Amino acid sequence: MVWLVRPAGTSAPVIDKLNKAVVQVLNNPATAKKLGSLGSYPSPTKPDEFKSFLAAESEKFKNITTIAGIKAQ
């Protein structure tokens, strides 16, 4: 899984423009073929979907570390 992140405070129009460009590249058959040959399969998402995914993953791993008794160092 590969993620494209941007600095905090990036404006919505810039995020949308980047997302559209990345999705266009990932939907290119040649790109999909090359990534597939490397064992990766593109699954482009919208910025709000990715934000929700990250929030859920953060919560999941917060719970795992709490249960396991892992402390931040």
Helix (H) or strand (E) holding 65: helix 47-68
As given in the structure block, the two tokens for residue 67 are 């249960």
Per-run averaged pLDDT (10 residues), the chain, 73 residues: 84 94 93 92 88 92 90 82
pLDDT of residue 10: 95
Count other Cβ atoms within 10 Å, centred on residue 20: 11
Decide: pTM greater than 0.75: no
Taking alpha carbons only, the member of 48, 19, 23 closest to residue 56 is: 48
DSSP secondary structure string, 6-32? --TT--HHHHHHHHHHHHHHHTSHHHH
pLDDT of residue 44: 87
pLDDT of residue 45: 87
pLDDT of residue 1: 65
pLDDT of residue 73: 81
